[in-house]
A and B are shown apart, each in its own frame.
Chain A
Amino acid sequence: MLIKSRPDGIDLPLSSEITPRAIFESRRDFIRQLAVGSIAGTSLYEMANREAFAQTPGAQKMAATVNPAYALIEKKTAYKDATTYNNFYEFGTDKSEPAQTASSLKTRPWTVTIEGEVKKPITLDIDSLIKVAPLEERIYRHRCVEGWSMVIPWIGYSLSNLIKKVEPTANARYIEFITLDDKKQMPGLRSPVLEWPYVEGLRLDEANHPLALLTFGMYGEVLPNQNGAPVRIALPWKYGFKSAKSIVKIRFVKDQPRTAWNSTAPHEYGFYSNVNPEVDHPRWSQATERRIGEDGLFARKRKTLMFNGYNEVASLYSGMDLKKFF
């Protein structure tokens, strides 16, 4: 069975165009059968099985190829939990607020400016940015600095694809991600809890690691606003706040950038903020975590893994004292 998709790779083809009518009429069963051995199978299988899907008619589907290297066998977090329990201060500091207030964010038109120490600076509209490389679905663990975690199927491509395209100069040692800063769209900006705009950053070699995912979708759909639409970063080996959301600018710089949480409370939130069970936050332990939706009230918390279990990044930090550079 051939699955056609549009050249931009965004919309799934109408089932009716590719499927005999009889099968189309029982398409959920069909999609379930299709899941076995098909490239886009996992995403489609999810859609067929997810109850919430029918209740979110506005959500736009996003086609992607499952990357088998990151097809975790861990149980995925429920879509409802992943989209109603969010730290996104631009929409309020309470984790239930972004889901209620983020509808004011307009994700089209949207441009991302890439500038600084690059030979080919460029401003791309979001639809061109999505097409820079083929979209993959990757299931990543997501560990929040607050001590909880989720498992999320993201859609995007390795950030390195974009970095290659703009050709960093020899001076480019760090990369900065800058989030939208618009009070009209983001009610949380009226509160001075952080310096706005929200800035996050990485060392260039970290940003070039294949795990660093420039992310446009999750659970087979475009990102919901509260999860950082239309484009965010996903860095599964770092605490969640390192993954900037709703990005409007990417800058290549020489010196370590001043990042939002690090400059607000440097003794609590390091620049690196790699997941590390041995370095506690001053006010709580990082040795364990609670998996949202799975570790119930009466379950012990699970052990947090070094680099959140992504040991392939360890070589980035060889020779570094990770207790000092936490």
Chain B
Amino acid sequence: MALSQKQISGIKAIVFLLALLPFFRLVAFAFLDQLGANPVEFITRNTGDWTLYFLCIALAVTPVRRLLNVPWLLKLRRMLGLYGFFYASLHFLTFLWFDHFFDVQEMWKDVLKRPFITVGFIAFAGLLPLALTSTNGMIKRLGGKRWQLLHKLVYVIVPLGVLHYYWMKSGKHDLTQPLMFAALVATLLLARVWWHWSATARSQANA
């Protein structure tokens, strides 16, 4: 289905506001004293969850667009990915501020000593160049091919994020949720591999 530019702008505005809801919910909870017995834990987990949700939604754009034939979905992908980065930044800030109180030295010790934090930190650091090159200007400056190649990093970053979650949860020995994320991300990535293979096979058959 084809949408007008106006309709797409409307959809973008709605998605933009919806994606802010988890953030405003946290702020409201903080003011209403609804963050539970351990507010830092609540904020850390909540922002971590939303990071993974948004990264998965962004990764789902291409498969859903192809399967359901809704090309305009692509127009939302950048915003969804940036929201993933937004919640990842809040997650990292919670760690740096509320957990370590800006004691950067202590934070580095934690990052280097604990594999699940190391992996989470690498994933966050990996999102940075993608966020910085998300503007139209940067796409032009890099050139489409190089920009696309750089942004394929997300195929590594999201599995690292899931691994970070898996290792964190393994302390509680409760792996249901991380395994659900792993299955979802694996499906989203394997769909791409499948399309890539079948496209190659078709072009070879045509040749």
A269-294 near B? 1/0 per residue, CB < 8 Å: 00000000000111111000010110
- 22 A–B contacts, CB within 8 A, in A order: A85-B38, A93-B172, A95-B37, A96-B36, A146-B171, A148-B38, A191-B174, A194-B173, A265-B173, A268-B171, A280-B113, A283-B114, A283-B116, A283-B167, A284-B114, A285-B110, A292-B37, A292-B38, A296-B39, A297-B30, A300-B101, A301-B99
Q: In the complex, what residues of B have CB within 8 A of residue A81's CB? A: 37
User: Total interface residues on A, using CB and 8 Å?
Assistant: 28
Contact of A193 with B by CB under 8 A: yes
B90 part of interface (Cβ distance < 8 Å):
no
Contact between chains at B36 and A85 (CB < 8 Å): yes
Task: Note all chain B residues with C-beta closer than 8 A to A38.
Answer: none
Is A264 in contact with chain B by the CB < 8 A criterion? Answer: yes
Chain A: minimal CB distance from B191 (Å): 30
Q: Shortest CB–CB separation between residue B36 and chain A, in angstroms? A: 7
* Chain B minimum-CB-distance residue to A87: B172
A15 within 8 A of B: no
Whether the pair B37, A84 counts as a contact (CB closer than 8 A) is yes
**Residue B98 interfacial (CB < 8 Å):** yes
What residue in chain B is nearest A148 (Cβ atoms)? B38
Complex Cα spacing A298 to B39, Å:
10
Closest Cβ neighbor of A284 among chain B residues: B114
Nearest chain A residue, comparing its CB with the CB of B110 = A285
Flag if A193 contacts B37 (CB, 8 Å).
no
Known: A84-B36, A283-B171, A296-B39. 13 other contacts (CB 8 A): A84-B37, A93-B172, A95-B38, A96-B36, A264-B173, A265-B171, A265-B173, A268-B171, A283-B115, A283-B168, A290-B38, A290-B40, A293-B37
Whole-angstrom CA separation of A298 from B174 in the bound complex: 30
Cross-chain contact A193 with B114 (CB below 8 angstroms): no
Q: Which of A193, A265, A297 contacts B174 (CB 8 A)?
A: A193
Which 5 residue pairs spanning A and B have beta carbons closest together? Answer: A85-B37, A81-B37, A93-B174, A193-B173, A292-B37
Q: Bound state CA distance, A324 and B174, in angstroms? A: 27
- Interfacial chain B residues near A282, Cβ < 8 Å: 114
Inter-chain CA distance A220–B26, complex, in Å, is: 35
Of residues 83 to 98 in A, which have CB atoms within 8 Å of B's CB atoms? Answer: 84-85, 93, 95-96
0/1 string, A132-164, CB within 8 A of B gives 1: 000000000000001010000000000000000
Give the shortest distance, in Å, between B41 (CB) and chain A (any CB): 8
A96 vs B173: C-alpha distance in the bound complex, in angstroms?
A: 17
Cα A148 to Cα B41 in complex, Å, equals: 10
Quick one: closest A residue to B98, CB to CB? A297
Chain A residues lying within 8 Å of B43, measured Cβ to Cβ, are 297
Instruction: Give the distance in Å from the alpha carbon of A284 to the alpha carbon of B111 in the complex.
Output: 10
**Set of chain B residues within 8 Å of A296, measured between Cβ atoms:** 39
Nearest B residue to A192, CB-CB: B173
Residue pair B171, A281 in contact (C-beta under 8 Å):
yes
A282 to B176, CA, bound (A): 21
CB distance from A86 to the nearest CB of B (A): 9
Contacts of A285 in B (CB 8 A): 110
Name B167-192 residues within 8 Å CB distance of A: 167-168, 170-174, 176
Interchain nearest-CB distance for A91 vs B (Å): 13
Give the distance to chain B from A79, nearest Cβ to Cβ, in Å.
11
In the bound complex, how far is the Cα of B38 from the Cα of A96, in angstroms? 11
B169 to chain A: closest residue by CB:
A93
B118 to chain A minimum Cβ distance, whole angstroms, is: 11
Interchain CA distance A239-B37 in the complex, whole Å: 18
User: When chains A and B are docked, how far (Å) is the Cα of A152 from the Cα of B115?
Assistant: 34
The answer for the CA separation of A300 and B102 in the assembled complex, in Å, is 10
